[in-house]
Amino acid sequence: MFRTALRNVLAHKARLLMTVLSVMLGVAFVSGTLVFTNTISDALQKSSAKGFDHVDVAIQPEGRPNEGGKVAEQPKLTPELLAKVEKAPGAASAIGVVSGFTALADKDGKLIGGGFQSQGGNYWGDDDPRYPIEDGGRAPKGENEIAIDSETADRAGYQVGDTIRLSVDGPVLTSTITAIFTTDDGNVAAGGSLAVFDTATAQKLFHREGQYDEIAVRAADGTSQAQLQTAIDKIVPDDTAATTTGQQLADEQATLIASSTSGLKNGLLVFAGIALFVGTFIIANTFTMLVAQRTKELALLRAVGASRRQVTRSVLVEAFVVGAVAAVAGLAAGVGIGAGMRSLMGALDATVPAGPLVVSPGTVATALLVGVLITMLAAWLPGRRAAKIPPVAAMGSVHAPATTKSLVVRNTIGALFAGAGIATVLYATTMDGSDGQAPMGFGAVLLIIGVFVLTPLLSRPLIAAAAPVLRVFGVSGKLARQNSVRNPRRTAATASALMIGLTLITGMTVMAGSLQTSIEKMAADAIKADYVVSMANGNFLSPDVEKKLASAEGVTATSPLRNAESVIGDETEYLTGVNGSAIRELTDLTIDNGAFEVGGTNVVVDADTAKRRGWKAGSSFTAAFEGGERQKLTVAGVYEGNELLRGVLLDSATLTERLPAGTDPADMQVMVKTSAGASDATKDRLEKALGDNPAIQVQDRQDISNQIASMFTLMLNLLYGLLAMAVIVAVLGVINTLAMSVFERSQEIGMLRAIGLDRRGIKRMVRLESLVISLFGGVLGIGLGVFFGWAAGELLAASMPTYELVLPWARMALFLLLAGTVGILAALWPARRAAKLNMLTAIKSE
Amino acid sequence: MTTTPLADTSLADRSTAVAARATELSKIYGQGETRVVALDRVTIDFRQAEFTAIMGPSGSGKSTLMHCVAGLDTFSTGSVRIGDTELGSLKDKQLTKLRRDKIGFIFQAFNLLPTLTALENITLPMDIAGRKPDKQWLDTVIRMVGLADRLTHRPAQLSGGQQQRVAVARALASRPDIIFGDEPTGNLDSRSGAEVLGFLRNSVRELGQTVVMVTHDPVAAAYADRVVFLADGRIVDEMHEPTADSVLDRMKRFDAKGRTS
């Protein structure tokens, strides 16, 4: 039987091509993902492990929770502690580590790298083992000297002796580069920048006067990390700091990297899974058609004594061969994709740590197993159907009429699934945000299965609706319509493959579009300020920034949004300090009750907090601030919170007075109103007032909208890219179905040619059939996608008052166009084949 | 044998006119050692309102002759005319149009589109051409083949004989200059075959239709006005007013020759 199966595969090479391609693409996606993420994870771990070479034991401050109605004072790592630790038995040396955000400007004044990866640190003494200096440099000394990593220097073209503009929390500093160093720092390996100052300067800039973020201790020769840790534990007070060995840190880092790359991996695998799932439709379709075409042959096998099981097995063996070939090809392609993605990311300036390509045995096994199993699983039903062919069919007439098995059972099952799915989804929309997620997901799966099962039934009315359009194309159109509903199951499977991709694409688009509009509205509607100034990395601004802005020409009002922690009752509450006299000019908050009055002890709170705390206008409460001061505050009004402003708003003067001297300033943003309104000139003036600081962004409302929009666009484009694979597989499915249909109907096509339908007419007939199938899948997919987008939006709306459904009509039209294009493209080759069919061989009787 | 008297005198005139003519027609496959001569300088006329049967042993070239004359296949040398049109110079597109407008076809099998009703199958050539069928003529044809109550059925709901009658009606409906049949009764039982052949003969006698049919069945050939015998790509004999027995006798001589040679 194996030989028969093998011969069959070889005999139907061309007809199995699309199946092999579709399985191959899915497997390539899976193995490419595995290769890529393994390679990155491996390289990151190696580079981060190197970063811990200089640490045998690390001492880090222990965070303390707020207790007893007080904001806890956080412990500090002092130079005294460092001195003690350095003398611990077995310690060779100790380094006090200071770190913080440091934005570097390139020679054009633009920020180097992404804001989040711009790191700053301290250079310890004259010869810091962490940062070996390249020839020609020397350790930075004093406030105006700096050393930068070699990658950044290369990228921006800086050399020793150049001056560089930088910013830590607001003011622009200009420093001289005294050294360029190499480093194993993981952040630099991942494309970030690192700048180091001498320790005193770093402590001052990062607001760590007299303290360190970490103390890194090296062990003397012959002392193990564990021994050193035990020795240090005796010195360090328990409630101040925790000790960790370098090995533990490296392990922790490795786990962190593994979990973050596995997140990426799992995300990508979901999309690979979708592509594979779509592929199963094609496999099942192909084997169903192959079995139907070979009815006589299989019946003959049965007639000469093959058992049902043997017939099924022969189909499965065929599937095995096809799956194995496709899996091997897919694995090879996947390794290529893995390698290609790395260089692509390198080309896109996202630095990826260098390392060997990792093709683990697990990747190979997964790829092969996935390819073979998926193919065999999808071929199982057709295989069983093959076994049901009675031996007598071998003697039957030339062509057994296509069995139009009743669809009643199928339709009933489909209706049940779809009905249950719709009901579940609708029920879930009435629930609260997070509670509704699980039932909605479950309902969505039910509905998709239901619609898939129902597609044969749906195909008739939907395709009939297209009849008036098709009539324009005369006989070709009429035949195309009838051919497309001729085998409803096949049409359904083909269209469903396309439907799945388009459902996801449309659903995501609807949701993202609605969310974007809502967030933009939330951000833009609540603000009257012309500009919002913030740090590029989301860090706090120096209080200097507000002062500079307030004194800039043409500025009429400013307010910081200054964060502070407090304890009210027994719970932690975050307060936002604003400029009480200007806030009404800068924001447009809806006041539910009371008055919009912020000043002295008068505060406003958002509706959610008010509800949680049981406050209303006139209520008063006592807040305990950091440092222990207490203040009684009165709720003057309750406002509708939004993305930008929420919680308790109090006057920043009141807040600052209560905080102990030397507390870190925590301005998240500064809002600015100008007399001239937002314009390029005004923006220039503000930026100049801030010293053209690379780390600070000055955004008007349009910029904020654009920023939000670009975030969503990026996310959507990423999703489109990932879902494109599912669509490509679906296109292969349409090609496959058409090619098979053309093959099956070659005699009919020959007859049509003989009685006078020209080649163009034949081509048009095939193309229109393809178009009808594709548009059918497209309409179903877009319809389902809109429904899911709406339903998911209803869930979001529960927690987002400004949420409203925005139907992206243009996009939807584009998707329909895409479906149509898919249809036309998929028909190119089958249509050509049909037109080129040799009429005489086609009509020759058997 | 002459046609039955007809009121329309033009039909009588047509009996002497030529509907299709092949002159010195050759069809050669391959080159050198694999060279096969399928047709060897065949010259033949098919007169209007005449029913011609083409017979011959397997490989004699009878189907090739029909395919070449019907514009389904290309030929190597010689000429073929349908009415006034020379086929040799036509491109595929023009040939297709010629087949659509001037020629009717009946094949042994796969004659009908399973998705269309009987009536839609009958009017298919005119639908392709984008022409409205002549209602009166259509009724005449349908009545003749006895399908009036089967028009909305699909081929799968019809018997083999009924399907072939639909095919005959389709060939007649567009009033082609000439109808070609390729073993039209090959898949039918003898009773259904006789019905179909009867319709073809009636169309020639009553409607003045020209019919050319390839067959290997002497009984079928006996319905024709004239039988042309082919062997090794050449016309070797011709018989008028044939009977099943006379055709069978003639065929036996081929077999004898085949055995002795």
Strand partners, A175: A164
ipTM for the complex?
Answer: 0.83
Q: Are strands B85-86 and B77-82 parallel, antiparallel or unpaired?
A: antiparallel
Euclidean distance between CA atoms A814 and A801, whole angstroms: 30
- Is A473 in CB contact (< 8 Å) with chain B? no
The amino acid at residue A474 is G
Smallest CA–CA separation between B5 and chain A, in Å?
A: 32
Among chain A residues, CA nearest to B68: A840
Distance from CA of A738 to the nearest CA of B (A): 17
Listed residue (A729, A755, A747, A756) closest to A834, CA to CA? A747
For chain B, give percent helix, strand, coil, nearest 5.
Answer: 40, 25, 35
The Cα–Cα gap between A463 and A487 comes to 13
Residue B12 has pLDDT above 50, yes or no: no
Q: Is residue A119 predicted with pLDDT exceeding 70?
A: yes
Q: How far apart are CA A173 and CA A175, in angstroms?
A: 6
Best to test chain B binding among A460, A475, A484 (most B CBs inside 10 Å): A475
Determine the distance in angstroms separating the CA of A774 from the nearest CA of chain B, rounded to an integer: 21
Name residues whose C-beta falls within 8 Å of residue A183's C-beta, 6 or more positions apart in sequence.
Answer: A51, A130, A131, A149, A150, A194
Distance, in Å, from the CA atom of B147 to the CA atom of B167, rounded to the nearest integer, reads 11
Chain A residue nearest residue B101, CA to CA = A756
pLDDT band, residue A469 (cuts 50/70/90): confident
Q: pLDDT class for B5, splitting at 50, 70, 90?
A: very low
CA distance A482 to chain B (A): 6
Would you say A373 and A323 are in contact if contact means Cβ atoms under 8 Å apart?
yes
Q: How far apart are CA B168 and CA B175, in angstroms?
A: 12
Average pLDDT over residues A802-814: 87
Nearest CA-CA partner of A327 in A731, A724, A26, A733: A26
What is the C-alpha R_g of chain A? Answer: 34
**What is the DSSP secondary-structure string of A373-441?**
HHHHHHHHHHHHHHHTS-GGGGTS-SSPPPP----HHHHHHHHHHHHHHHHHHHHHHTS-HHHHHHHHH
Which residues touch A639 (CB under 8 Å, ≥6 apart)? A589, A590, A591, A592, A596, A604, A605, A606, A607, A645, A649
Q: Where are the domains of chain B?
A: 50-63+91-260
Q: Is the pLDDT of residue A845 over 70?
A: no
Torsion sign (Cα): A724, A730, A732, A738: negative
pLDDT of residue A369: 93
Mean pLDDT over A738-762 rounds to 88
Chain A nearest-CA residue for B100 = A756
Instruction: Let me know: does A533 contact A541? Beta carbons within 8 Å.
Output: yes
**Contact assignment for B110 to A474 by CB distance below 8 Å:** no
pLDDT above 70: percentage of residues in chain A: 93
Burial class (CB in 10 A: 0-12, 13-18, 19+), A599: middle
User: In the numeric block, which tokens belong to residue A387?
Assistant: 């076994």
* Chain B interface, Cβ < 8 Å to A: 67, 70, 72-73, 92-93, 96-97, 99-101, 104-105, 107-111, 113-116, 124-125, 127-130, 156, 170, 182-183, 186-187
> What average pLDDT is seen over chain A?
84
Which of B96, B99, B127 to mutate against chain A (most A CBs within 10 Å)?
B96
Q: Distances in Å between the alpha carbon of A211 and those of A82, A85, A86?
A: 10, 14, 15
Nearest C-alpha in A relative to B170: A755
- The secondary structure of residue B32, as a DSSP letter, is G
Q: Do B100 and A761 touch (CB under 8 A)?
A: no
Q: Which residues contact A844 (CB under 8 A, 6 or more apart)?
A: none
pLDDT at A170: 65
HSE-up (13 A, CA, CB side) for residue B251: 21
pLDDT at A68 over 70: no
> Regarding predicted confidence, which is higher, A53 or B180?
B180
Q: How confident is the model at residue A624 (pLDDT cuts 50, 70, 90)?
A: confident
Distance CA A124, CA B123 (A): 95
Kindly report the backbone phi and psi dihedral angles of residue A134, in degrees, each rounded to the nearest multiple of 5, phi listed first: -75, 160
Band (B8; pLDDT cuts 50, 70, 90): very low
Contact call for A845 and B109, based on CB within 8 A: yes
> Tens digit of pLDDT for each residue in A647-657?
899 898 888 88
Kindly list the residues from chain A whose CB atom is less than 8 angstroms away from the CB atom of residue B124. Answer: 475, 755
Q: Which residue of B has its CA nearest to A484?
A: B115
Mention every residue, 6+ apart, whose C-beta is less than 8 A from residue A396.
A296, A299
Minimal-distance CA residue of chain B relative to A401:
B156
The one-letter amino acid at A490: R
Q: How confident is the model at residue A778 (pLDDT cuts 50, 70, 90)?
A: very high
Provide the 10 A C-beta neighbour count for residue A546.
24
Q: CA-to-CA distance for A233 and A239, rounded, in angstroms?
A: 11
User: Is residue A48 pLDDT above 80, yes or no?
Assistant: no
Structure tokens given for A738: 């058409």
Higher pLDDT, B30 or B49: B49
Q: Which residue has the higher pLDDT, A82 or A406?
A: A82
Whether A753 has its CB under 8 Å from any CB of chain B: the answer is: yes
Residue B2 pLDDT exceeds 60: no
A355: pLDDT strictly greater than 80: no
List the single residue in B with minimal CA-CA distance to A399. B110
Residue A207 has pLDDT above 90, yes or no: no
Q: pLDDT at position B16, please?
A: 67
Rounded CA gap, A102 and A554, in Å? 30
Within 8 A of B100 by CB-CB distance, chain A residues are 755-757
- Res. B106: pLDDT tops 70: yes
Q: How far is CA B76 from CA A543, A643, A839, B27, B93, in A?
A: 96, 83, 18, 5, 19
A549-558, A604-613, B5-14, B156-165: range with lowest mean pLDDT: B5-14
Hey, how many other C-beta atoms are within 10 angstroms of the C-beta on A273? 15
Q: Which residues pair with A95 in a beta bridge?
A: A216
Count A/B contacts: CB-CB distance under 8 Å: 80
Closest among B180, B252, B250, B194 to B223, alpha carbons compared: B194
- Rounded mean pLDDT of chain B? 86
As a whole number, mean pLDDT of residues A429-455 equals: 85
Domain B50-63+91-260 has CATH 3.40.50.300: yes
Of A475, A757, A839, which is closest to B72 when you measure between CB atoms? Answer: A839
At A837, list the tokens.
Answer: 């069919």
Distance CA A569, CA A624 (A): 9
Handedness of CA A667, A672, A678, A680 (dihedral sign): negative
Report the chain B residue with the minimal C-alpha distance to residue A403.
B156
- Torsions phi, psi of B38, nearest 5? -85, -40
DSSP B147-178: -GGGTT--GGGS-HHHHHHHHHHHHHHT--SE
Q: What is the pLDDT of residues A670-693, one digit of tens each?
A: 899 988 888 888 888 888 888 777
Q: Which residues pair with A560 in a beta bridge?
A: A670
Q: What is the pLDDT of residues A372-408, one digit of tens each?
A: 999 999 888 888 888 888 777 766 544 444 445 667 8
Nearest to B56 by CA among B207, B256, B236, B190: B236
Q: Which helix (H) or strand (E) holds A134?
A: none
A755 touches chain B (CB under 8 A): yes
Min Cα–Cα distance to chain B from A772, Å:
16
CB nearest B110 (choices: A751, A759, A840): A751
- The answer to whether A47 and A186 have CB atoms below 8 angstroms apart is yes
Residue A279 in contact with residue A322, Cβ under 8 Å? Answer: no
- Strand-pairing partners, residue A719, are none
Cβ-proximal residues to A657 (8 Å cutoff; 6+ apart), any chain: none
Q: Are A394 and A302 in contact (CB under 8 A)?
A: yes
- Whether the pLDDT of residue A220 is over 60: the answer is yes
Residues 103-162 of A with CB under 8 A from B: none
Contact yes or no for B107 and A754 at CB 8 A = yes
Measure the CA dihedral B98/B104/B109/B110, to 10°: 60
In angstroms, the Cα distances linking A87 to A59, A83, A84, A537 are 15, 7, 5, 39
Residue A839 above 70 pLDDT? yes
- CB proximity list for A424: less than 8 A, separation 6 or greater: A439, A440, A442, A443, A446, A447
C-beta atoms of B107 and A843 within 8 A: yes
- Residue B48, Cβ neighbours under 10 Å: how many? 21
Cβ A261 vs Cβ A255: under 8 Å:
no
From A67-76, A796-805, B1-10, B137-146, the region with the lowest mean pLDDT: B1-10
Assign A435 a pLDDT band (cuts: 50, 70, 90). confident
Asked if A754 and B99 come within 8 Å (Cβ–Cβ), the reply is yes
- Give A476-528 pLDDT, tens digit per residue: 888 888 888 888 888 888 999 899 999 999 999 998 888 888 877 777 777 88
User: Over the stretch A292-345, which tens digit does the pLDDT of each residue have?
Assistant: 877 777 887 787 777 888 888 888 888 999 999 999 999 999 999 888 877 777
Residues ≥6 apart with Cβ < 8 Å to A150: A134, A180, A181, A182, A183
A483-513: burial string, b at 16+ Cβ within 10 Å, e else: bbbbbbbbbbbbbbbbbbbbbbbbbbbbbbb
CA of B115 to nearest chain A CA: how many angstroms apart?
A: 6
Question: How far off is chain A from B157, nearest CA to CA, in Å?
Answer: 10
Candidates A132, A143, A120, A144; CA nearest to A179 is A132
Residue A554 backbone zone (phi > 0: left; psi -120 to 50: alpha; other: beta): left
Distance from CA of B45 to the nearest CA of A (A): 22
- CA of A321 vs chain B CAs: smallest distance (Å): 35
For B157, the closest chain A residue by CA position comes to: A401
Q: Which of A752, A756, A840 sits opposite B67 (nearest CB)?
A: A840
Interchain contact, B105 vs A751, CB within 8 Å: yes
Confidence of residue A446 (pLDDT cuts 50, 70, 90): very high
pLDDT of residue A365: 93
What are the structure tokens assigned to A432, written together? 């609260």
